[in-house]
Amino acid sequence: MEKGKNSKNQPGAAGGKREDIGMKHKKSDFSEWFSEILMKAELADLRYNVKGFLVHRPWSVLTMKNMYRYYEEEFERNGHDPAWFPALIPESNFKLEAEHVEGFAPELFWVTHSGDEKLTERMALRPTSETAMYIMYAKWIRSWRDLPLKIYQSCQVWRCDTKATRPFIRGREFHWMEGHDVFATMEEANEQVKEDMEMTENVMHKIYGIPFISIQRPEWDKFPGAVHTYVADSMMPDGKILQQPSTHLLGQNFAKGFGIKFKDNDEIEKYPWQTCYGPAIWRMFGSVVALHGDDKGLRFPYEIAPAQAVIIPITGLGDDARVVKKCKEIKQTLTSANIRARIDLSDNTPGWKFNQWELKGVPVRIEVGPRELREKTVTLARRDTGTKRTVKESELTSIIPRIGKDMSSNLRKAADDFLHKNIRQAGNIKELGLQLDKGGFVKVDFCTIDVEGIPCAEAIKNKLHAEVRGTRFDKIERPSGRCVVCGKTAACVAYIGRAY
């Protein structure tokens, strides 16, 4: 339904202008649609003169600030304290964990000079903060009483990724969070992996509406320096897989490299067990845009929407001054009720404004015209369903959050359905290829995600341009037959997909 044309309340409904902000079809050309919405909804500007670096405009930043708030609260609820570590890391820190430096070296940005002077030791911009944090952990941790140590930070990281950059998906600078935990025992570290996955569920899925499946990555696709890597794999509207937060079980590898030791309550000095967890708010924002948006523009879950309601005066039908006054009163009422409300008093037509704020993804539109004024009502329109209803002005502050909650839940369910509809199965390599072409995950019996599985994974990569993402972490799935590639007895059910 095109609101700009159908509402009798809209004298100026500018059919001509509708086209200016009309979006490409998301289904037929997701990639174009995504590029377009970033620009039209003023989320980011790609024209900054460093490749892979985005300028984040207010509409995305306001949203990501809300997203950060929910995630920070979740981190703190789970016993993490916030810290801020330096962005620059001396080269020598990296060398303390051999696999880690090898994995990250090609992506590091190096600071070599200050002013005209060459530094005695070059420093990397943090690509992730293990090597900044763990030299301090070695100073802080002495006794079992100092454990567990659970710290997170919200920051930016820099990686000169050699793959093609894409805004909010893969960039050379991005905004994320990282949790770095230390435990006295392996069991506690293993429990933390589960708690991290629950945090992903509680915030990324329940609040942002981004569904995922939890996966243990294959041996050949772990974080450099980790014992195991666990991830939340999400899906984009084009069926391609996008990795969301991962947790790395570091075991004692870094503790040994960085000399983190503690005296246990049995008086014996031991190396502790570590985990690290990295939710990238920036990439999740990309998923929010991609998964929930439609051909009219953005659709934000109510909780994280930069504006939760927009008030539009229906002017030009008489009584303009009183209409505008009422709109301002309503804004005041909503603000007092902690509803993030805006009012559009620009000189555009109501129809143009409807389209504009739909593009911007505001969950609830409030229309106030002479009729509403007379009847002490307002007209509400929902961004997800487009349905309109007339409600009493006095009910606004109770109804809007309710609509918001319902809308968030609708968006999440639609995303859930999409994910689950796109998990398929294949019994042999040919079927795997056919199913992969439909997008999403394809489950197959697979020899093993241990190193012995590498040749089979490479065969899939070379023949089908797809990746073995790993096995389910949240449940045990038993294979019934043989590996779809090598034909050996399968040890696991692997999830295959084409990924960003």
Which positions lie near a copy of itself, rule CB under 8 A? Answer: 45, 47-50, 53-58, 61-62, 64-65, 81-90, 92-93, 105-116, 122-123, 125, 132, 135-136, 139-140, 151, 156, 158, 160, 173, 175
Measure the N-to-C terminal CA separation of the chain; round to a whole number of Å: 33
Least distance in Å: CB of 31 to a copy of itself? 23
Is 140 or 220 the residue whose CB approaches a copy of itself more closely?
Answer: 140
Torsion sign (Cα): 437, 204, 339, 344: negative
Is 123 or 236 the residue whose CB approaches a copy of itself more closely?
Answer: 123
H or E stretch at 360: none
Amino acid at 34: F
User: CA separation (Å) from 328 to 91, 309, 332, 358?
Assistant: 57, 13, 6, 21
78: nearest Cα among 160, 158, 152, 15 = 152
Is 333 or 409 the residue whose CB approaches a copy of itself more closely?
Answer: 333
Least distance in Å: CB of 54 to a copy of itself? 7
H or E stretch at 118: strand 117-125
Cα(198)–Cα(201) distance, rounded to whole angstroms? 5
Cα(432)–Cα(198) distance, rounded to whole angstroms? 31
Least distance in Å: CB of 417 to a copy of itself? 33
Least distance in Å: CB of 426 to a copy of itself? 38
Is 120 or 480 the residue whose CB approaches a copy of itself more closely?
Answer: 120
Is 91 or 201 the residue whose CB approaches a copy of itself more closely?
Answer: 91
DSSP code at position 252: T
Least distance in Å: CB of 139 to a copy of itself? 6
Is 281 or 483 the residue whose CB approaches a copy of itself more closely?
Answer: 281
Cα(328)–Cα(318) distance, rounded to whole angstroms? 17
Tokens 């390599």 correspond to: 429
317: burial class by Cβ within 10 Å (0-12, 13-18, 19+)?
middle
**Count of CB atoms within 10 A of residue 148's CB?**
19
Least distance in Å: CB of 127 to a copy of itself? 11
User: CA separation (Å) from 467 to 108, 218, 248?
Assistant: 25, 10, 19
Least distance in Å: CB of 490 to a copy of itself? 38
Is 91 or 319 the residue whose CB approaches a copy of itself more closely?
Answer: 91
Residue 143 near residue 263 (C-beta atoms within 8 A): yes
Least distance in Å: CB of 57 to a copy of itself? 6
Least distance in Å: CB of 42 to a copy of itself? 9
Is 69 or 392 the residue whose CB approaches a copy of itself more closely?
Answer: 69
Supply the Cα-derived Rg of the chain in whole angstroms: 26
Least distance in Å: CB of 154 to a copy of itself? 9
Q: Which two tokens stand for residue 468?
A: 């073995």
Cα(195)–Cα(200) distance, rounded to whole angstroms? 9
Is 47 or 374 the residue whose CB approaches a copy of itself more closely?
Answer: 47
Is 15 or 86 the residue whose CB approaches a copy of itself more closely?
Answer: 86
HSE-CB for 398 with a 13 A CA cutoff: 5
